[in-house]
A and B are shown apart, each in its own frame.
Chain A
Amino acid sequence: MTAAAAADKPKKLVIICYSGELEKTWATMILASTAGAMDMETTVFVTFWGLQTFVKDKKRITGENWMQKMMSFMQRPGASHRKLSKMNFMGMGPWMMFQLAKKYNVAKPKDLLEMAQAVGVTFLPCQMTMDMFGLKREDLIDGMGEPVGAATALQLMTEADSTLFI
């Protein structure tokens, strides 16, 4: 491969989106949207608590059995309903974060997620997490890829130029 061809080959980024807290969701969305904007071939594998962020905002209770329903009731799913891991104070912390974001023109995770999708970032839901939380495809936001598992995530990671676990 010539040097010019190597330079033209898009860089690959894989993010494992594992956490569901507001601060980590924000980091994932900033990096994913910017990577897409930089023409990096970006894939986000969404698993465990991270998948809660990708449930449609308007969904309140998800799951089939009482434990799954209880889990979604205790922590409301959706990109706009993330909690801070520290200083959440019944939602006061996130409320202040959003006020500050507005004041300083910082995009919210949900806006960044939409922009990431617009620049071609692929979001792949974890099938096992969907099963465990009783999530169906229609519970998740539109435009996500086919559900996959750990082997696909690892294969993507070994082929990537950079990988992140957030």
Chain B
Amino acid sequence: MANLDIKLKVDASGLSCPLPILKATQGIKTVESGQLIEVLATDPGSVKDFDAWSKATGNAMVEQDAADGKFRFVLRRK
């Protein structure tokens, strides 16, 4: 985890669908291709949603974990 060079953190905690996806989209557009963003969310649906979003957009899921109802996604801009 420590070796990841995260360019931007997007905190979507507490936000309901589809806001975590929309915030991540806004965020990832501000970094360069190949750079990483980290998204935090508490919406349980976001686990499947980020997977679908990643597949649809080509922004790769680099890391994903969950703990205590919090979800973390690290995504690389296509």
Residues of A within 8 A of B (CB): 8, 11, 30, 33-34, 36-40, 104-107, 112, 115, 118-119
B56 touches A105 (CB 8 A): no
Q: Which residue of B lies closest to A37 (CB)?
A: B25
The interface on chain B, measured as residues whose beta carbon lies within 8 A of the other chain's beta carbons, has a size of 16
Which residue of the partner chain, among B14, B16, B22, contacts A37 with CB atoms under 8 Å? B22
- The yes or no answer to B44 lying at the interface (CB within 8 A) is no
Q: Which residues of B contact A36 (CB under 8 A)?
A: 25
Q: A104-B16, A105-B15, A105-B16 are in contact. Are A115 and B22 (CB under 8 A)?
A: yes
C-alpha gap A156/B69 in the complex (Å) = 42
Q: Which residues of B contact A34 (CB under 8 A)?
A: 18, 21-22
B16 touches A11 (CB 8 A): no
B15 touches A37 (CB 8 A): no
Q: Can you offer 19 A-B residue contacts whose CB atoms are under 8 A?
A: A8-B58, A11-B56, A33-B18, A34-B22, A37-B21, A37-B22, A37-B53, A37-B57, A38-B53, A38-B56, A38-B57, A39-B56, A39-B58, A40-B56, A106-B19, A107-B22, A112-B22, A115-B22, A119-B22
Q: Which residue of B lies closest to A8 (CB)?
A: B58
The 6 closest A-B pairs by CB, nearest first: A37-B25, A38-B56, A34-B18, A106-B16, A105-B15, A39-B57
- The yes or no answer to B26 lying at the interface (CB within 8 A) is yes
Q: Which residues of B contact A115 (CB under 8 A)?
A: 22, 26
8 Å CB contacts to A: which residues of B9-30? Answer: 14-19, 21-22, 24-26
Interface hub of A37, A104, A119 (most chain B Cβ within 10 A)? A37
8 Å CB contacts to A: which residues of B24-73? Answer: 24-26, 52-53, 56-58
Nearest Cβ distance between residue A44 and chain B, in whole angstroms?
A: 15
